[in-house]
Amino acid sequence: MTEPAPTPSIPAPEAIRFEHVSVRFGGVRALDDVSFSVGCGEVHCLAGENGSGKSTLIKVIAGVYQAQPGARTDYFGESVAAPTPQLARRKGVAVIWQDLALFPEMTVAENIAFDGLVGAPRLVNYRAIRETARTALAKLGVQLDLSAPLKSLPISGRQLVAIARALASDAKLVFMDEPTASLTQTETDHLLGVVRTLSASGVAVVFVSHRLAEVLDVSSRVTVLRDGRLVGVFEAEGMTQSRLTELMTGKRFDHAVTARDVGDAPVVLETSDLTRQGEYSDVNLTVRAGEVVGLIGLIGAGRTEVAHTLFGMSRANSGSIRLSGAPVAFTSNREAIAAGIGYVSEDRLALGLIQPQSIADNTVITTLKRISDASGLISEAKKSAAVAKGIGEFAIKIGLPDDAVSTLSGGNQQRVVLAKWLATSPRLLILDCPTVGVDVGARDGIYKIIRGLAERGIAILMISDEVHEVYFNSDRILHMAGGRIVAEYDPRRTSIAELERAVYA
């Protein structure tokens, strides 16, 4: 693949300039001679797959990690020999990580003014705290209830609190790590407006996101890392998602509609007027053997709530569910699993895997009875065979089966989740946002696995809030809004622009 020429110059004046940055962890080179610069007031995208070195570079700039000798580190025109977290903060660098690092029990005002609370013991001036918070929010052009506990805010509100806290600390350069991962499109649009407001006021913003469309929409330049090395710096204008994906991965991907007609296949799942008060109403859907049905809708549309009912985690108030023609009314997920249903949760870290346990244990956790001997004890031989089969079948890249599953990348963790459910021989597999937190290169592998499972005859209900995901990987698409299914689309007869207009209206 021929690399395009990088852009020539950085917008002046400079906020930071880091050159010849290399970082080693033992024998692993996490960054190899990387240079990175951002102009004051610029919105800049830092792009790359998981493991490309993005987080390491951010931590070098924030003073958490030290670059090897020979690096040049400049903050706002001043050269610094050995950056530290304290120095980086004084220079105006703030990092908003994906977990936000806020305090749920404290108020909005206390979270925003928190840095001013740290220091020698003294009486708390609540009037000053509220004024600090009010001033920071005013810079963003937003209003929040300053006395509300942070935990009462939706994730979009917490994002604004995190940004306001950075401004309250006089941040001049703000890194945002996956800031829109849990936001609806409306909330995302609002956040991007806030980013533009920051830029207009002279605050530089570095955006890290797997959602490439929004990256290209809000950024002026894109720095691409791959395997710890700099691929280049490119103008966002004129860059396409597919081209950026190629730069990040070094591979070309075919984005083509894969929809097939499986209308003659037997119906595996059928719901009729399924209703759960306050969550969803009159849901009618069918999924056939070997069919991938995409269920698209914004967060809050009721998609996951329907999935929970299908998997026995909640009960509908009315309506019916039929599995291969037989009525079912599950009272637990154990009953759903026994009936042949698998469920890949959108919260892989908390619900999909047991992070401290091994890759092997996570792979076989759904089939413990099957790998046990007559005495009820786990047979190590059966376990080893099952683990080897799952790892091999899903091409999971691991060190050792006994390594903690938390050591794997997001894409490989998701393959472990799929492997554990395939081991149950499901007839219906519910995938709730199957690529959340998975980088763009690994997503293609997940999609191929999903298509392969469908070709085996497994019925698949794929829930997502990403139009591209369902459009290119579903046989049929159901649009859910306000707890109801409002439309059905055939990707072969509908344009992606038409689907986007409907979903994001």
202: left (phi over 0), alpha (psi -120 to 50) or beta: left
Claim to verify: residue 267 and residue 307 sit in the same structural domain: yes
Claim to verify: residue 1 and residue 86 sit in the same structural domain: yes
Claim to verify: residue 402 and residue 496 sit in the same structural domain: no
Residue 351 inside a domain? The answer is: no
pLDDT computed for residue 21 by the predictor: 96
Residue 214 inside a domain? The answer is: yes
Residue 27 inside a domain? The answer is: yes
Claim to verify: residue 453 and residue 406 sit in the same structural domain: no
Claim to verify: residue 163 and residue 56 sit in the same structural domain: no
**244-286 pLDDT tens trace:** 888 988 877 667 888 999 989 999 999 999 999 999 999 999 9
Residue 144 inside a domain? The answer is: yes
Cβ neighbors of 205 (< 8 A, separation 6 or more) are 42, 43, 44, 173, 174, 175, 176, 195, 198, 199
Host domain of residue 143: 102-171
Residue 378 inside a domain? The answer is: yes
pLDDT computed for residue 233 by the predictor: 95
* pLDDT of 439 over the 80 cut: no
- Alpha-carbon span 128 to 117, nearest angstrom: 10
Distances (CA, A) of 342 to 197, 279, 306, 327, 428: 44, 22, 14, 18, 6
Claim to verify: residue 453 and residue 500 sit in the same structural domain: yes
Claim to verify: residue 247 and residue 273 sit in the same structural domain: no
Mean pLDDT along residues 462-473? 89
Number of domains in the chain: 4
Mean pLDDT along residues 176-195? 78
Claim to verify: residue 401 and residue 430 sit in the same structural domain: no
* pLDDT of 316 over the 60 cut: yes
Residue 346 inside a domain? The answer is: no
Claim to verify: residue 291 and residue 195 sit in the same structural domain: no
Claim to verify: residue 217 and residue 88 sit in the same structural domain: yes
pLDDT computed for residue 187 by the predictor: 75
**341-350 pLDDT tens trace:** 999 887 766 6
pLDDT computed for residue 253 by the predictor: 67
pLDDT computed for residue 8 by the predictor: 47
Task: Find the CATH number of the domain harbouring 319.
Answer: 3.40.50.300
Angle between helices 185-200 and 126-140 (to 10 degrees): 100
* pLDDT of 294 over the 90 cut: yes
Mean pLDDT along residues 12-16? 87
Mean pLDDT along residues 289-311? 92
User: 3-state DSSP call for residue 115?
Assistant: helix
CB 150 within 8 A of CB 158: yes
**67-121 pLDDT tens trace:** 999 999 999 999 998 899 999 999 999 998 877 889 999 999 999 998 776 555 6
Closest CA to 254 of 434, 418, 451: 451
Residue 367 inside a domain? The answer is: yes
CB 112 within 8 A of CB 142: no
CA atoms within 13 A on the CB side of 433: 17
Claim to verify: residue 6 and residue 83 sit in the same structural domain: yes
pLDDT computed for residue 298 by the predictor: 80
Show which of 142, 171, 200 is a domain's final residue. 171
**26-56 pLDDT tens trace:** 777 899 999 999 999 999 999 987 778 898 9
Claim to verify: residue 81 and residue 178 sit in the same structural domain: yes
Mean pLDDT along residues 4-33? 80
pLDDT computed for residue 351 by the predictor: 72
pLDDT computed for residue 491 by the predictor: 95
* pLDDT of 184 over the 70 cut: no
Angle between helices 440-455 and 241-249 (to 10 degrees): 100
pLDDT computed for residue 2 by the predictor: 47
How many Å is the Cα radius of gyration of the chain? Answer: 25
Lowest mean pLDDT among 147-151, 311-315, 405-409: 405-409
Residue 349 inside a domain? The answer is: no
Show which of 131, 153, 171 is a domain's final residue. 171
**204-227 pLDDT tens trace:** 999 988 778 788 889 999 999 998
- Alpha-carbon span 128 to 109, nearest angstrom: 10
pLDDT computed for residue 185 by the predictor: 65
**472-491 pLDDT tens trace:** 999 999 999 999 999 999 99
pLDDT bin (cut points 50, 70, 90) of residue 6 is low
pLDDT computed for residue 349 by the predictor: 64
* pLDDT, averaged across the chain: 88
Show which of 136, 154, 171 is a domain's final residue. 171
Lowest mean pLDDT among 16-25, 60-69, 344-353, 485-494: 344-353
Q: Among the residues of 99-240, which ranges form H helices?
A: 108-112, 114-117, 126-140, 155-168, 185-200, 212-218
